[in-house]
């Protein structure tokens, strides 16, 4: 039962089974973010983000054993985590939210140092999530620069 629940969580309710799963996961994340901050508060989103990040670091390793790949494309919770980082400073600004999605996807695809180290040389939860956290950090820096210059 817990294995099935973890697969649902880590594939973001089977979004990971779609083509271009990382991009779809990022899009789902921005819709989820906007819905949560619009109907509840940014603090609720921050709580969900922190909870999912900790949960993923703790339990993703066991779920990864069910796949024949150290970073299976079906697992997209790492995109949720990485995409959430720049969203934390976007507020309700739709342009910044969409830009953060585009920029995050670019960084996630190209895996600029040190993301490439996490992607290629580190296994388990840290390897899967680490490159997306770095992509999220690079993205938040660019979004911050855009925010202070507009």
pLDDT digits (tens, 9 = 90+) for 106-129: 999 999 999 999 888 898 899 999
Mean pLDDT of the chain: 95
pLDDT-above-90 percentage for the chain: 85
Helix (H, G, I), strand (E, B) or coil at 87: helix
Q: Is residue 72 within 8 Å of 64, Cβ to Cβ?
A: yes
Packing angle between helix 21-39 and helix 42-64, nearest 10 degrees?
A: 150
pLDDT at 70 over 90: no
**The tokens of 31 are what?**
């819709």
Under the banding of pLDDT at 50, 70 and 90, the label for residue 90 is: very high
Q: What is the mean pLDDT of residues 43-58?
A: 97
**What are the extents of the domains in the chain?**
2-11+21-148
**The tokens of 125 are what?**
């939860």
């Amino acid at each position: 039962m817990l294995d099935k629940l973890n697969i649902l969580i880590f594939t973001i309710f089977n979004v990971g089974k779609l083509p271009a799963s990382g991009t779809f996961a990022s899009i789902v994340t921005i819709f989820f973010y906007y819905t949560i901050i619009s109907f509840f508060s940014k603090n609720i989103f921050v709580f969900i983000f922190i909870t999912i990040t900790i949960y993923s670091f703790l339990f993703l390793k066991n779920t990864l054993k069910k796949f024949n790949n150290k970073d299976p494309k079906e697992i997209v919770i790492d995109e949720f985590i990485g995409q959430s980082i720049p969203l934390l400073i976007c507020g309700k600004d739709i342009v910044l939210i969409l830009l953060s999605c585009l920029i995050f996807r670019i960084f996630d695809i190209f895996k600029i140092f040190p993301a490439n180290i996490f992607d290629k040389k580190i296994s388990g939860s840290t390897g899967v999530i680490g490159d997306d956290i770095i992509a999220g950090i690079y993205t938040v820096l660019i979004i911050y620069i855009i925010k202070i210059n507009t």
